[in-house]
Chain A
């Protein structure tokens, strides 16, 4: 099946610094990728939809200037958490949409990135 790779798997950063998370579709092209945030014992919350070659679409309540998304190629989307604060500590997950053999679409997920801001 299709593979989505996220990097890094975990990161610890100081408050006020910025952190970049990469999401790559390894064996397929993805014009659309999604970024989620998941707090402990909660479901995945959609943050934004990343569209290749255009601006990302952010969900209500998500600050676009704080969570910068760049989808510069068909296989790579990046999420940059700017001026990170402890409350940004969370598990960030990306997904990319692939089309299966019979035309059904399927969302493939990265392994997630654990961000801890100290």
Chain B
């Protein structure tokens, strides 16, 4: 299983772009990179998933370099409601899905 490393916490002002980087040096060929958002007392919610290069959806972008040993979640123009914990998951066959510590993002007015 690929182990992930993320910053424990980040602060950002409203309206700014936030980039959270996750390291996964042992990523396997069949692993996908998925980011989840979790609010207190709620289950994690899917944000974005990618395999390589760049993926963009209506809420975020995911940048993955060629070696795939890291990935960066980019949240454009964050608002107070984006305050949450963000988890980077690396999994392929999904026989087992484990979470790292996650990054607690605090958006400041």
Which of A's residues lie within 8 Å of B, judged by CB?
A: 1, 4, 6, 32, 34, 36, 43-46, 49, 91, 93, 95, 97, 104-112, 114
Chain B count of residues within 8 A CB distance of the other chain: 25
- Chain A residues whose CB sits within 8 angstroms of the CB of B83 once the complex forms: none
Known A43-B100, A104-B49, A105-B32; contact A32-B94, beta-carbon cutoff 8 A: yes
Q: Is the interface of A mostly helix, strand, loop or mixed?
A: strand
- Chain A residues whose CB sits within 8 angstroms of the CB of B91 once the complex forms: 105, 107
Which of B's residues lie within 8 Å of A, judged by CB?
A: 32, 34, 36, 41-46, 49, 51, 87, 89, 91-102
**What would 6 A/B residue contacts be, using CB atoms closer than 8 Å?**
A32-B95, A43-B102, A93-B43, A105-B94, A107-B97, A110-B43
Known A104-B32, A105-B32; contact A34-B41, beta-carbon cutoff 8 A: no
* Nearest A-chain residue to B104, judged by Cβ: A41
* Nearest B-chain residue to A4, judged by Cβ: B43
